[in-house]
Amino acid sequence: MIGEPRDGLLLADEHLLCGAHRFTLLTEKSSTSPGCPTPTMKEADMPRTTQLRTYTIREGLLDEWAVKWRNLVVPLRLELGFEIGGAWVDHERSQFIWLISYEGDDTFEEANKRYWASPRREALGLDPANYLLARDVREVEAVQ
């Protein structure tokens, strides 16, 4: 069952189970399949570099971070050539988990430096230090 949209996010009752922890997938409503999450990329089509990022968020700020990430960070990342493979929240651990990929004429690191140096990034007025307590960033590959 799909929950009610909130601040541009749709909280789904479709969960990723990892041990005893439940992660809620954050998606937008699909126009083609009402009530179903819309995938943004297929595993088999994963670009050259994909990172699985897990952020531990300050207590009480997880939902606020998710909304700001979706409305501010995602549009700029997409504009700069990144792909977002999905985003999840783990309320029990106050964690935000997401997949980001990049395939282009340069490296992920170079594209990421351009993102952080962008005047538009600075204009967002979003300082991750106000929300994030810890970051875990891993490069991952799709299983073939």
56, β-bridge pairs: 95, 134
Residue 53 lies in a domain: yes
Q: What is the pTM of this model?
A: 0.69
114: its two tokens: 């351009």
Strand 2-6's sheet: what is its strand order? 2-6, 9-18, 21-27, 82-90, 95-102, 49-57, 132-140
Which CATH number fits the domain that encloses residue 72? 3.30.70.100
Q: In terms of residue numbers, what domain contains 60? A: 44-140
Average predicted confidence (pLDDT) for the chain: 78
Tens digits of per-residue pLDDT, 11-58? 333 344 333 344 445 544 333 334 434 444 444 444 479 999 999 999
Question: Of 22-26, 48-52, 91-95, 111-115, where does mean pLDDT reach its minimum?
Answer: 22-26
Q: How many domains does the chain have?
A: 1
